[in-house]
Structure 1
Amino acid sequence: MSRKVLITAKVHPYLTDQLQSKGFEVIYEPNISYEEVYAAIGDCVGLIVTTRIRVDKHIIDHARQLEWIGRLGSGMELIDVPYAESKGIHCVSSPEGNRDPVGEQAVGMLLTLMHNVLKSNLELRRGIWERDGNRAWELGGKTVAIIGFGHTGSTFANKLKGFDVNIIAHDKYKKGFGTAAIREVSMEEVYQHADIVSLHLPLTPETMHLANASFFESFAHPIWFMNTARGKLVNNRDLIAALENGQVRGACLDVLENEKLNTYSAEDKEQLQYFLDAQNVVLTPHIAGYSHEASIRMPRVVLEKLNII
């Protein structure tokens, strides 16, 4: 019987070494296309994916020997999990593996934004010594609203300890998580009290473009906005409008609606350029969970969940 495992993304050698030590034949194709996955998956028992390859009914039907799918990181939106499981394919992810770097980067981006670290640094590179225009807003005393209180949302809350912030959190599907340090609230309370809003949600039909014009208009006062989860949670056009009209004081974005720059439409290019030019936007290329440590921790979590180690 085949013991092939197809790996469709760049991974730490730890993963391939562990699989090979357990007797698996590793097919390592970090740049593989969807069509190539379809061609290669027929005799594989395992599949490792990240955020690039869609594992849909077409691929699953062709994967007649597939026993498991391991997702490095969080978010299973690219995998048709119900259909895979109906075929007896075990699906696991590893949000525990990269929640710490996401939480750390979220704090770092927020400080960079509110303390004008990026803006003032870029000005200095052009010979501009500007202090008054780069006066910081302190985190202390602000109310940070976390929407989605799973692995990354709760970790972000933990990383904020020591900053003297008021933390409120809303999760539509999780209750009873409030503590002395974190107040569990409704969305109405988020809209009423938040100074800073951070999204930590999966991408589903329900959360698609959650952050739209209506969302930004609902806040009682201007907010700093953060998204280190999934780009399509945000309607770029509406966020830009909110930045321009002052509903959003500034934004930290590690993810974008469209992260494939070579497919950009004219509007995509215009929106990206706006974010890059804006002095009140901190933008990074989906690297929040991409730490050196997480590159080992994520595969270890996947292999443990699959009872391979």
Structure 2
Amino acid sequence: MKILIADSMHSSLFNMLKGQGWDYAYQPDFRRQDIIDALPDYDGLIIRSKTYVDQEVLATAKKLRFIARAGAGLDLIDLNIAKGLNIEVFHAGEGNRDAVAEHAVGMLLCLFNNILKADKEIRNGIWDREGNRGVEIMNKTVGIIGYGNNGGATARRLSGFGCKVLAFDKYRDNYGDEYAEEAPLEQIMEEADILSLHIPLSEDTRFLINESFVEKFSKPFYLLNLSRGEVAQLNAVVNGLKSGKIRGACLDVLENEKIKNLSSGQQEAFDYLRASDKVILTPHIGGWTHESYYRINEVLVKQIKNGLVNA
């Protein structure tokens, strides 16, 4: 079996592939047309986030048996086209779930305890204890939308803080566990103090968090988004912060992550967010640890072996 690796990958992957007796070509600098030209010779394609795999990319990939994404989300792959061509699709949802969960808790603690604000003030010679009095996570109600790998791992961490965790996942049944209670979205909107998003980007979830959604919450809440930026409309987040309906936001992802190339509206929203002490921003690194970089490869190779080779 020949595999094209068309994105930068942790070097641990190569020995894992060799251990299975699979040949590979590592071409991290390949652009879209390079991939299209090369794919007819390969049985498998491994990618990260560089290229959208659609009808054009797959049109001449007559030998291709699988696409494997080194990450959790599959929004860069046209799943309907892949299914129609009998191409298996694998992803490493388990590989970075612990990293995402720890990052979520870290961002929340940072926000609740004014850690970034206080650090900046002290470095500027300001010693303000009362102005940085914190908020405790304990006894808060957390609503999690999307109870897969990342949502479940986050619930496990937050339950240890003495939270009540409610989880909603429209694509699963009977998923409540010792860390979270299965709940309808309406209950989360009624009770949640904190809302954490762990859902893939799709037509159903694009701009799920809009002004109407925010207004439906019964009380002000804190927002965490460690899923995909386009799940939360930036203007809705900004307006929620201005009105007080959103008490604070932890955003690892943005509606447009090319922050040097924002529309005028996006720029205005981004300028507000980056100036606010009620907002914690990180550059889509929620699952981006040294450990997860290795673990993602382990998960991918295991999935390919179990899901394809041994089928």
AA matched with 1:63: A
Indicate whether 1:136 and 2:104 are aligned: no
AA matched with 1:35: Q
- Structure 1 residues 258-269: aligned runs within 5 Å: 258-269=256-267
C-alpha distance in 1, partners of 2:260/2:65? 34
Q: Match of 2:240, SS?
A: helix
Per the alignment, residue 197 of structure 2 pairs with 199
- Structure 1 residues 284-299: aligned runs within 5 Å: 284-299=282-297
2:237 to 217, 236, 239: 239
Any idea what the Cα deviations from partners look like across 1:193-238, whole Å, max 9, x if unmatched?
0000001111110010000001110111110000001111011111
Any idea what the Cα deviations from partners look like across 1:132-179, whole Å, max 9, x if unmatched?
111101111110111111111111000113211111111112121224
2:49 to 39, 48, 51: 51
- Structure 1 residues 1-309: aligned runs within 5 Å: 3-179=1-177, 181-307=179-305
Identity %: 39
C-alpha distance in 2, partners of 1:39/1:263? 30
AA matched with 2:192: A
More off after superposition, 116-125 vs 99-108: 116-125
Question: Is the Cα–Cα contact under 8 Å of residues 139 and 163 in structure 2 kept in the other structure?
Answer: yes
In structure 1, stretches of 5+ residues that fail to align are none
Alignment length, in residue pairs?
307
The CA deviation at 1:180 is: 5.0
C-alpha distance in 2, partners of 1:41/1:34? 11
* TM-score normalised over the length of structure 2: 0.94
C-alpha distance in 1, partners of 2:7/2:117? 34
* TM-score normalised over the length of structure 1: 0.94
C-alpha distance in 2, partners of 1:19/1:173? 33
- Give the RMSD, CA atoms, in angstroms: 1.7
In structure 2, stretches of 5+ residues that fail to align are none
More off after superposition, 274-283 vs 95-104: 274-283
More off after superposition, 89-98 vs 125-134: 125-134
Q: Match of 2:195, SS?
A: strand
C-alpha distance in 2, partners of 1:105/1:56? 31
C-alpha distance in 2, partners of 1:287/1:167? 24
Q: Match of 1:261, SS?
A: coil
The CA deviation at 1:21 is: 4.3
C-alpha distance in 2, partners of 1:297/1:188? 36
